[in-house]
């Protein structure tokens, strides 16, 4: 099936897999960020939408090397300990990594961290929107921003110590014209550990580069 024919919407994609006798795994590396942003419940975003297995990420949201693999039907999890070992993911004293999950989930800490990361991204997107020559193909919904920057702004940001990478532009319903020769398409990611002052410095550096 060509990508263009792939049905849009998670329910349709889940149905397509289930009709073919396949199970559906959701990569939830940023599950918390999506949940906080979209105001769904965790169940609506997983088993109620037909997801069979979820990798519930904690590493990108503050933990050290800690993810939970959740099967919504216990029977499907029967072989996981063996698969995990064969995949080289069974660590000795792994319980010390796993112990982070208790603190992560307690009192909604995981949601607070994600809300903080998303808030930093919003601050960055609002700042970038005021930088002349910069445009964003999609609205900022989680802790990631995709932006088209003039090359001279990109150079000034890199010279100022900003760390980010170029991203391949694909036209997935982008709401702006693709990057031109003198522009670069980048992905910017904020985290629980970002500082508002760093974001403000990033924007100030970009603004100073346009003024030159």
Ligand X SMILES: *Cc1c(COP(=O)(O)O)cnc(C)c1O
Within 176-195, the residues that bind ligand X by CB under 6 A are none
27 part of the interface to ligand X, by CB under 6 A: yes
Cβ neighbourhood burial of 183 (10 Å; 0-12, 13-18, 19+): buried
Q: Which of 66/131 has CB closer to ligand X?
A: 66
Given candidates 14, 30, 190, 202, which one binds ligand X under the rule CB under 6 A? 30
Handedness of CA 142, 146, 147, 151 (dihedral sign): positive
Q: Of 52-60, 72-80, 156-164, 202-210, which segment contacts ligand X by CB under 6 A?
A: 52-60
Minimum distance from residue 189 beta carbon to ligand X (Å):
7
Question: Own/partner pairs for 173-181, CB < 8 Å, 24+ apart?
Answer: 174/137, 174/138, 175/137, 175/138, 176/135, 176/136, 176/137, 176/148, 178/148, 179/148
60 part of the interface to ligand X, by CB under 6 A: yes
Given candidates 37, 57, 125, 154, which one binds ligand X under the rule CB under 6 A? 57
Tell me which residue of 130, 69, 135 sits closest to 101, measured CA to CA. 69
Q: How far apart are CA 58 and CA 41, in angstroms?
A: 17
Q: Of 23-31, 103-111, 114-122, 203-211, which segment contacts ligand X by CB under 6 A?
A: 23-31
Q: Of 54-62, 85-93, 113-121, 193-201, which segment contacts ligand X by CB under 6 A?
A: 54-62
Task: Give the interface with ligand X as residue ranges (CB under 6 A).
Answer: 27, 29-30, 55, 57, 60
């Amino acid at each position: 099936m060509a990508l263009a024919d792939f049905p849009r919407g998670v329910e349709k994609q889940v149905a397509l897999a289930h009709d073919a006798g396949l199970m559906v795994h959701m990569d939830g590396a940023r599950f918390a960020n999506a949940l906080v942003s979209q105001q769904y419940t965790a169940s609506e975003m997983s088993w109620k939408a037909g997801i069979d297995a979820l990798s519930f990420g904690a590493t990108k949201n503050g933990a050290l090397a800690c993810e939970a693999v959740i099967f919504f039907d216990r029977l499907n999890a029967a072989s996981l300990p063996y698969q995990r070992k064969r995949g080289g993911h069974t660590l000795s004293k792994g319980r010390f990594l796993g112990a982070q999950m208790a603190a992560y989930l307690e009192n909604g800490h995981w949601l607070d961290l994600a809300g903080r990361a998303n808030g930093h991204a919003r601050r960055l997107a609002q700042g970038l929107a005021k930088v002349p020559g910069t445009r964003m193909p999609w609205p900022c919904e989680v802790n990631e921003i995709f932006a088209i920057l003039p090359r001279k702004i990109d150079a000034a940001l890199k010279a100022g110590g900003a760390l980010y990478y170029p991203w391949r532009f694909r036209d997935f319903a982008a709401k702006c014209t693709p990057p031109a020769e003198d522009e670069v398409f980048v992905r910017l990611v904020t985290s629980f550990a970002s500082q508002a002052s760093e974001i403000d410095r990033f924007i100030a550096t970009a603004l100073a580069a346009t003024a030159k």
